[in-house]
């Protein structure tokens, strides 16, 4: 299962992610975050997200993360 | 496959404007360093320009260079520390205007370094003046009637220019206007670093990138400008690959 | 080099190379310009023999920025040039000073301004001592007058540079660079306890990443803090490093103030003057920055007059006036444009000012 998370405080509202998502999972908010930016948010239900990660590829602010696997979140050693 | 912040990328908000390509390119470089496992032996140069604060975002040793001089600085570092990974991160003004001599000569000497060249066709940090890569007709604060109307000359095509040099190993032009191109950009950056690690010589990846603020358009329009206008002047592709892979 | 000291006949430019290599200099980047060409030429031959790196840079600008990079790795490094080339390096020198990166820069001065000529000159005094590049910074400036001294000061320059984390300039001239003298190639011994270089960039394995930078935007007072730190360092250097030589000053009524090659010529003139019964001595600063102000002041208390001899239209004289706080008259003998005095020229001037 794809678990998409959006850090709305990191989002600067550019909207590039919305354009990339072919499944209509994302939309821009009506209100603003603490920095005064509109932000990307889930459009309805997360169920539409396939976990393809194109939104993550496009986000200049690494505000979106997707976890597709239960197993490892430690891709990188600390 | 998971998509989350990679270790080499410091967990912080960047100073970049909404829709700026630098954030994407920083992330790609960081991911490549981590995937190749070379973060701890990497020394990067920070340019003068919007990316001057590169060291606020990358978790590796970094030296901030005078405007345009990164290839000279990197030359010395790599020659003295050949086992380390050395790369420069430069904008178009830095690499193709004030630093063109350093670029050409480091390339021609075949310095075993990787150059990440961010081409957004404008001087961003200083407020939108004409860059060496500004397109003909493109407006800037120093070409209000559009480039070319006052003997500015056409944009400099760096990949094409450097491809003439026998000392160069790898040149590729990529873009970050959409996710597909972002994935291709990462592949090119990875190859640029692998070339260095395997001792093949000078590699440069030119990344066409968005500057919505100084182009005075929305982030979506900026991505479109890269896709339509910039790509037609700066065609994407491999301009040199001495390794032939 | 064998450890047995022996005298060899070398040109000044070659002496610098041997001294630098003996002191562990392992990176050199330079660009051809007369009259310092033997430095890069000799370095290109000798550096590979000691396992170092020589790069003929595409420009003076690239050369000094290669030094910026080389120094950041903790490697002892050096560049050399002559006046117009040193002008081109000034931006880089400012960055090196701001980044507190040790290195040695040799200026084999030639006539200026502009392309000037290729004869010896001391026209770059202000550039060397007062700054040259932008911003508040100082170079340690050393001015040898013989080739044995050039050898020793070049070795020492690397120590001062590492000790204070500050660029050091060897301010020579075309005569010093081109003349040959027997020089004993003494083994290098550090003249100070050298600090550990805990700031170098070599990859962050096992430690936090390091940054070498010269931009201080945030917080808003950070550049002021950095400047205050630099100022304190310069004050420390000024209080610890005053190198000078006195020659026949015990009883002198006229002090000749001269540095480098003119000081050497002045010594001969002083001997001629002494033969004629004139009490003339020499105060020769070896470090031009910091300048031995106390020695100037001490001699100004007993001597009647100073005579500055320099191969310029008058630059060093300004600092002599400052150092003596204008307490005695300071006469001048010098010309710009690649002129140098003979002992007889100086004697003539001594006779003129001594009786006045």
Q: Confidence class of residue C5 from pLDDT cuts 50, 70 and 90? A: low
Minimal-distance CA residue of chain B relative to C73: B77
Residue ranges of chain C assigned to CATH 3.40.50.920: 244-354
pLDDT of residue C4: 60
Mean pLDDT, range C246-254, rounded to an integer:
97
Mean pLDDT, range C330-340, rounded to an integer:
95
Nearest C-alpha of chain B: how many angstroms from C68? Answer: 6
Contact A59 B19 (CB under 8 A): no
Contact A76 B34 (CB under 8 A): yes
Contact A14 B212 (CB under 8 A): yes
The answer to whether residue A45 neighbours chain B at the CB level (below 8 Å) is no
Strand partners, C116: none
Q: How many CB atoms lie within 10 A of CB C207?
A: 11
Mean pLDDT, range C293-309, rounded to an integer:
98
Contacts of B81 in chain C (CB under 8 A): 73, 202-203
CA distance C76 to C159: 10
CA A50 to mean position of chain CA atoms: 12
Cα–Cα nearest to C166, from C71, C76, C101: C101
Contacts of B73 in chain C (CB under 8 A): 65-66, 68-69, 72
pLDDT of residue A1: 66
Contacts of B227 in chain A (CB under 8 A): none
The answer to whether residue B204 neighbours chain A at the CB level (below 8 Å) is no
* Two structure tokens written together for C303: 């001597």
The answer to whether residue C51 neighbours chain B at the CB level (below 8 Å) is no
Residues C174, C106, B82, CA angle at the centre, nearest 5°?
A: 135
pLDDT above 70 covers a percentage of chain C that reads 98
CA distances from A76 to B31, B203, C243 (A): 10, 26, 55
CA distance B150 to C6: 66
Cβ-proximal residues to C292 (8 Å cutoff; 6+ apart), any chain: C242, C243, C244, C283, C285, C323
Question: pLDDT averaged over chain C?
Answer: 97
pLDDT tens digits along C141-175: 999 999 999 999 999 999 999 999 999 999 999 99
CA distance C324 to C302: 12
Contact present, C78 and B88 (Cβ < 8 Å) = no
CA distance C86 to B60: 33
Given a cut of 50, the residues of chain B with pLDDT beneath it are 245
Minimal-distance CA residue of chain A relative to B36: A76
- Position of tokens 């006195």? C246
- Position of tokens 């005695």? C328
pLDDT tens digits along B176-199: 999 999 999 999 999 999 999 999
pLDDT tens digits along C10-44: 999 999 999 999 999 999 999 999 999 999 999 99
Contact present, C282 and C305 (Cβ < 8 Å) = no
pLDDT of residue B134: 98
**What are the boundaries of each domain within chain B?**
22-240
Q: Confidence class of residue A77 from pLDDT cuts 50, 70 and 90? A: very low
Does a cis peptide bond (omega within 30 degrees of 0) precede residue C350? no
pLDDT tens digits along C104-151: 999 999 999 999 999 999 999 999 999 899 999 999 999 999 999 999
pLDDT tens digits along B117-158: 999 999 999 999 999 999 999 999 999 999 998 899 999 999
Contact B220 A68 (CB under 8 A): no
Which subunits sit against A, judged by 3+ Cβ pairs under 8 A? B
Walk me through the domains of chain A, giving residue ranges and CATH numbers: 3-67 (3.30.70.3270)
- What's the count of helices (H) and strands (E) in chain C, helices before strands? 13, 15
Three-state DSSP state, A67? strand
CA distance C231 to A2: 57
Chains A and C touch (3+ CB pairs under 8 A): no
Q: C244-354, what's its fold?
A: Rossmann fold (3.40.50)
Contact B69 C75 (CB under 8 A): no
For the domain with range B22-240, which CATH number is right: 3.40.50.1820, 1.25.40.20, 3.40.50.2000, 3.40.50.970? Answer: 3.40.50.970
CA distance C71 to B65: 13
CA distance A8 to A69: 23
Identify each DSSP E strand in C91-213 by its residue range: 103-109, 140-142, 167-173, 180-184, 211-212
Residue ranges of chain C assigned to CATH 3.40.50.970: 7-184
pLDDT tens digits along C31-83: 999 999 999 999 999 999 999 999 999 999 999 999 999 999 999 999 999 99
Q: Confidence class of residue A40 from pLDDT cuts 50, 70 and 90? A: very high
Q: Are strands C27-30 and C254-257 parallel, antiparallel or unpaired?
A: unpaired
Q: Check whether A31 has a pLDDT greater than 50.
A: yes
Contacts of C212 in chain B (CB under 8 A): 62-64
pLDDT of residue A76: 46
Q: How far apart are the first and last CA of chain C?
A: 54
| Class of CATH domain C7-184 | alpha beta
Contacts of B178 in chain A (CB under 8 A): 19-20, 58
ipTM associated with this complex: 0.97
The answer to whether residue A32 neighbours chain B at the CB level (below 8 Å) is no
């Amino acid at each position: 299962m794809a678990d998409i998370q959006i850090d709305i405080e990191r989002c600067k509202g550019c909207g590039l992610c919305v354009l990339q998502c072919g499944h209509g999972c994302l939309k821009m908010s009506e209100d603003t975050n603490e920095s005064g930016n509109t932000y990307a948010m889930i459009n309805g239900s997360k169920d539409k997200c396939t976990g393809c990660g194109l939104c993550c590829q496009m986000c200049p602010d690494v505000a979106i993360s997707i976890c597709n696997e239960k197993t490892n979140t430690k891709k990188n050693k600390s | 496959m998971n998509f989350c912040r990679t270790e080499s990328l410091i967990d912080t908000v960047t100073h970049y404007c909404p829709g700026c390509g630098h954030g994407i390119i920083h992330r790609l470089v960081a991911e490549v360093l981590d995937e190749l496992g070379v973060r701890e032996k990497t020394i990067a140069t920070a340019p003068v320009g919007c990316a001057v604060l590169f060291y606020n975002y990358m978790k590796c040793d970094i030296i901030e260079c005078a405007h345009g001089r990164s290839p000279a600085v990197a030359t010395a570092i790599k020659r003295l520390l050949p086992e380390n990974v050395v790369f420069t991160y430069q904008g178009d003004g830095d690499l193709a205007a004030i630093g063109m001599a350093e670029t050409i000569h480091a390339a021609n000497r075949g310095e075993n370094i990787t150059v990440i060249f961010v081409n957004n066709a404008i001087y961003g940090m200083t407020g939108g003046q004409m860059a060496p890569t500004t397109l003909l007709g493109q407006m800037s604060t120093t070409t209000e009637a559009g480039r070319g109307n006052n003997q500015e000359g056409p944009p400099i095509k760096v990949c094409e220019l450097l491809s003439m040099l026998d000392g160069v190993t790898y040149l590729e032009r990529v873009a970050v206007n959409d996710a597909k191109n972002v994935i291709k950009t990462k592949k090119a950056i990875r190859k640029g670093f692998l070339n260095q690690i395997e001792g093949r010589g000078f590699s440069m990846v030119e990344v066409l990138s968005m500057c919505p603020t100084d182009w005075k358009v929305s982030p979506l329009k900026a991505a479109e400008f890269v896709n339509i206008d910039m790509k037609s002047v700066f065609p994407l592709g491999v301009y040199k690959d001495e390794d032939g892979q | 080099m064998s450890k047995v000291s022996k005298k060899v006949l070398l040109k000044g430019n070659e002496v610098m190379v041997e001294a630098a290599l003996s002191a562990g200099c392992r990176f050199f980047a330079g660009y051809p310009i007369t009259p310092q060409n033997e430095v890069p030429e000799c370095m290109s031959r000798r550096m590979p023999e000691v396992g170092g790196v020589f790069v003929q840079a595409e420009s003076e600008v690239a050369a000094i920025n290669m030094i910026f990079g080389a120094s950041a790795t903790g490697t002892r490094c050096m560049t050399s040039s002559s006046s117009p080339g040193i002008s081109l390096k000034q931006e880089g020198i400012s960055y090196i000073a701001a980044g507190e990166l040790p290195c040695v820069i040799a200026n084999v001065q030639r006539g200026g301004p502009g392309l000037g000529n290729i004869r010896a000159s001391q026209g770059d005094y202000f550039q060397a001592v007062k700054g040259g590049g932008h911003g508040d910074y100082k170079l340690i400036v050393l001015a040898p007058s013989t080739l044995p001294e050039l050898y020793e000061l070049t070795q020492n320059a690397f120590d001062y540079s590492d000790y204070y984390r500050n660029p050091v300039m060897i301010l020579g001239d075309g005569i010093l660079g081109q003349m040959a003298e027997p020089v004993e190639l003494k083994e290098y011994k550090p003249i100070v306890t050298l600090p550990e270089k805990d700031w170098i960039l070599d990859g962050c394995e096992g430690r936090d990443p390091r940054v070498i930078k010269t931009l201080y935007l945030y917080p808003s007072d950070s550049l002021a803090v950095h400047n205050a730190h630099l100022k304190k360092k310069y004050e420390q250097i000024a209080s610890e490093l005053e190198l000078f030589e006195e020659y026949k000053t015990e009883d002198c009524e006229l002090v000749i103030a001269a540095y480098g090659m003119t000081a050497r010529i002045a010594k001969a003139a002083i001997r001629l003057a002494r033969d004629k019964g004139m009490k003339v001595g020499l105060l020769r600063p070896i470090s031009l920055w910091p300048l031995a102000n106390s020695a100037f002041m001490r001699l100004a208390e007993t001597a009647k007059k100073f005579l500055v001899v320099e191969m310029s239209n008058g630059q060093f004289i300004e600092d002599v006036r400052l150092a003596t706080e204008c307490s005695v008259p300071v006469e001048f003998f010098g010309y710009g444009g690649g002129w140098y005095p003979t002992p007889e020229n100086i004697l003539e001037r001594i006779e003129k000012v001594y009786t006045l």
